[in-house]
Structure 1
Amino acid sequence: MTHALPWRPLALAAALLLPVGASAQETDPETGLIQAEGWEVVKANCTVCHSARLVTQNSGSRNHWEYLIRWMQETQGLWQFRPEMEATILDYLAEHYGPKEGARRPPLPRHLMPDNPYATGEGPG
């Protein structure tokens, strides 16, 4: 004779309430960085100059993160990374702080836009 366990319906209900793709990724309590492969390298290199919040509140493709690294190297005094270290940083950032789906609102329709005071009379404006 099988007895239904009382927690099973609750566990099933809880699982159904999770958003699709939700995972139990742990974050570092000190920085808020997702604790996954490469996070300690990111913490050790990125939080020397700025808060990890600058990372966690942003997102971008691997190319975008690489662009930011180059900009920081050229203008902010960021050191050069060994190629394998840079690859680890970029892999981590692209995987865990990649482009967000649906993060921007759609553009406003033209009829809701104000007139452009600088319009030259050519094209929309």
Structure 2
Amino acid sequence: MASSTSFRIIMACLLLQIIVSPIDLVKGATLTITVENELVKVGQILNLHCTLNGKDLGRQSMPPFNRFVHTLTPSILGGEVFTCTFAAAGKPTTTIDVFKGFSFAHRPCECLGIDHCFWQVLNEGFWCNSKFIKTWG
């Protein structure tokens, strides 16, 4: 009886350690997030402002077909939130969580199981890995 209780306590402690530790999915595994301006009207600049877990990654002003690339090492706990605000002439400002951990509840871009989220910003809206996500606004 005592050994059964001890085993349960040890297993509970191990489970707690796993839950609170920032374990990488695979040691050294990375995820690359790319945002490409495909607004093809002559000179249509995409203004981009991204944050990762609230940390400012700076503002970008991108002519057509230029890219912003950021690489991160996701945690198995899925706590990362990579958010970008997009602005362009004649378009309503739009904010999207371009990556929100490996959450099953909120996956705007199907990045689960792959190492790259490729976002394309077009006149009609936002695409990720060849899937339409949303319109402007």
Per the normalisation by structure 2, the TM-score is: 0.24
Per the normalisation by structure 1, the TM-score is: 0.25
Quick check: which one's helix share is greater? 1
Q: Kindly name which structure, 1 or 2, has the bigger radius of gyration based on alpha carbons.
A: 1
